[in-house]
Amino acid sequence: MFKFKPLNYQQLADEKLIVAITNGDSSAFNELYKRYNERLLYYFYRMLWNDKEMAQDFLQDLFIKIIDKPHLFDVERKFSTWIFSIAHNMCKNEYRNRVVRDIVEKGTDTDSIPDDEETTNYSSFQIKDVFSCLNEFDEMHRTAFLLKYREGLSIEEISSILELPVGTVKSRLFYTRKKIQKKLQHKIHGNNEY
């Protein structure tokens, strides 16, 4: 006899889940939240001057956007690309607002980077230095860097998120990497292993 099997949301692709959310499926939303909340929190935290309150507010706002307007998702696109492009646009707006409010001082804002004890689990000294260097770049460079090395997205996906040509993304990543590498080399007590 035919029996209805309960839907296993864990096996569904992100794209299927967002379609289910469009139809008002709360369990699909729960699953999608589980998959992305930590990744996005990390992204917001690193993009928004390591401010954990702001990162959490942005995370909540982003998921509210998804609940309110899931139909805006283009089924032809990959979901992760879509969600990170929303996150990127939110950060971009925040940067713009900060500039307007004249809160951010021009140049490096390394004072806002917490100490090692606060940003726990640094497996080595480089991470703090990496983010210290990264704060010298604009939000486009930072986003590209995080999406590439933290999220492991392809150049094409990053180019779609940032709405930039592939070549530009490549050159920005190269430039950021080289600059960070140079700065780190100075800190590694003359050890030029990289």
Which residue ranges make up the site for another protein (CB under 8 A)? 21, 23-26, 29-30, 33, 37-38, 41-42, 45, 52, 56, 59-60, 63-64, 67-68, 118-124, 126-127, 130, 146, 149-150, 152, 177, 180-181, 193-194
CA distances from 130 to 40, 136, 176 (A): 19, 10, 10
Min dist CB 18 to another protein, Å, is: 13
Asked if residue 126 lies in contact with residue 184, where contact means CB atoms within 8 angstroms, the answer is yes
Residue 26 or 99: which CB sits closer to another protein?
26
The two three-digit tokens of residue 140, written as one number? 């486009």
Asked if residue 64 lies in contact with residue 74, where contact means CB atoms within 8 angstroms, the answer is no
Min dist CB 33 to another protein, Å, is: 7
Min dist CB 194 to another protein, Å, is: 4
Residue 108 or 181: which CB sits closer to another protein?
181
Min dist CB 136 to another protein, Å, is: 16
Q: Where are the alpha helices (DSSP H) in the chain?
A: 14-22, 26-47, 52-68, 79-101, 126-134, 139-149, 155-162, 166-187
Query: Under 8 Å CB-to-CB from 46, ≥6 apart: which residues?
Result: 131, 134, 142, 146, 150
Residue 161 or 180: which CB sits closer to another protein?
180
Residue 88 or 96: which CB sits closer to another protein?
88
Residue 38 or 99: which CB sits closer to another protein?
38
d(CA 130, CA 134): 6
d(CA 18, CA 30): 11
Min dist CB 126 to another protein, Å, is: 6
